[in-house]
């Protein structure tokens, strides 16, 4: 009987941890997709010539909208070739 209670407790803790992990990963995935899509919109719709390379994609994927905004400021300031 005690084993069942312990297993149920461990299962509940694992369920909570998986929920928290999934919630954070979903937020990170959405942030990454929005950043990359915004970078492509700036490139192809507004014809702003921000180079698409591994650095800019990584910044857009990791930081999302603020990262793309930083890339735009760097490009307009002439610091991003």
Domain ranges of the chain: 2-76
pLDDT on residue 81: 73
Q: Whole-model pTM? A: 0.76
Determine the 3-state secondary structure of 45 from DSSP: coil
Between CA 51 and CA 59, with CA 55 as vertex, the angle to 5 degrees is 105
The mean of the pLDDT values for the chain is 94
Contact 77, 47 (CB under 8 A): no
Rounded to an integer, the average pLDDT of 40-44 is 94
CA gap 20, 28 in Å, rounded: 13
**Helical residues (DSSP H) of the chain, grouped into ranges:** 2-44, 54-76
Q: Check: CB of residue 34 under 8 Å from CB of residue 65.
A: yes
């Amino acid at each position: 009987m005690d084993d069942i209670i312990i297993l149920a407790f461990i299962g509940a803790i694992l369920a909570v941890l998986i929920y928290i992990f999934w919630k954070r990963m979903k937020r990170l995935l959405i942030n990454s997709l929005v950043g990359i899509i915004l970078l492509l919109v700036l490139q192809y719709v507004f014809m702003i010539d921000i180079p698409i390379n591994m650095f800019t994609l990584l910044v857009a994927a990791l930081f999302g909208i603020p990262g793309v905004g930083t890339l735009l400021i760097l490009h307009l300031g002439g610091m991003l070739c």
